[in-house]
Homo-oligomer: A and B are copies of this chain.
């Protein structure tokens, strides 16, 4: 008896660590599935959709048509050229004002030697392809809804968070009576199941990527279809699953977006009945070679806004101290440039809005930051540009529109023109444009997200950012 007990204890002693080890391994390794995160993933979905597109194209090619030139001219040709206007034969006074000449800039072809240009273009194309593969999802692809299909289904707006479950809304089958009504569903990044079961409906494939539902009664099948769920099982933080929903002779396709919800950055505005500028706004600037002007700027700000924070990016060769309450001075390596400086300053802002100024600006009693805040608080705009009065007395707003023309492989063409799009309702002194002067207030979260590219260097009076911008 004793020997048996000892033996049993021995087994227990030997087995326990093994059991423990097995349990530990099981707990710590949630899934041993492999996932392909290579760039080829989106091709599967593309192929499904391409096939359907080809089927949808009917042959009306025999029916003639007459081109409407006025419309044809507006369509993107996928080729655009950055070309300057020729200089006029006669140089009239005020010619540039009355008949502004288009000047063009195409740095790409001039930045490289002839010999290396071909290689650079090829490399650029590869980089662009990789970018597109990372950026696009099946939710961007063209899908056409088939006419006269007995299938009812959601065409947009279905979203699921990664690895979570949702009920798919709007699925239905509306057909004439037949012996057996059947539908099936197929996914590639998740599985189907049902939230509830309905008597009289046969379901195959609960919990897998292909599910079939059938019933003799159409009404019970439709009731069951109200309970179909989708669970994302292959992890990806931002993609879309292509779901095929089929019945005899008909097939529909829709996408379920898979992704994290956007986590908003919300700012505490310190609102007490009127706009608290110090809580809402940080003033940011970059300084180089003119500490005296910078000090004049600071003094002028303090006359009207004694406690607003001022962030200063400084790339002087021999930096001097810049001190004072609510002043934050950042020292950069010498000559990093305006864009690096702007990106730095903006990266440090903790208030809801950031106001950009140049280090040679001066605030006056007309510099009413409350007006800019008002516009950003009351509208969906990202940025408000101001006006800068130069020593000559001329007041510049630099408002421009930016039009981007598709250009195919060689790249797009950006057209920048003086002017604006529309006046803004409720703010008659404010117009909607694409570019503003370098005195502007913007939403910090948006400006940090878009940023200023430190690879660029100088000449940034015209702030070319693809925001909503509004100027007086």
Contact = CB atoms under 8 A, between A and B. Distances in A.
A140 to B, nearest CB: 6
Contacts of A268: 120, 123
A154 B147 CA distance: 11
**Interface size class, chain A:** 35 or more
B223 A60 contact: yes
B143 A156 contact: yes
Contacts of A173: 147
Interface string A139-183: 111111111111111111111010111110110111000000000
Interface in A201-235: 219-220, 222-224, 226-227, 229, 231, 234-235
Contacts of A365: none
A382 B264 CA distance: 21
A68 B33 contact: no
This chain: how many copies in the complex? 2
A164 B412 CA distance: 14
Interface string A453-472: 11100000000001110100
A389 interface: no
Contact of A156 (B23, B255, B423): B255
A37 interface: yes
Given A265-B453, A344-B347, A455-B350, A404 B260 contact: yes
Contacts of A74: 164-165, 229, 231
A453 to B, nearest CB: 7
Contact of A269 (B123, B155, B340): B123
A58 interface: yes
Interface string A411-453: 0100000111111111000001010000000000000111101
A28 interface: yes
Interface string A225-249: 0110101001111000000000000
A142 B163 contact: no
Contact of A172 (B28, B36, B58, B139): B58
Nearest to A430: B37
Contacts of A336: 328, 348
B381 A37 contact: yes
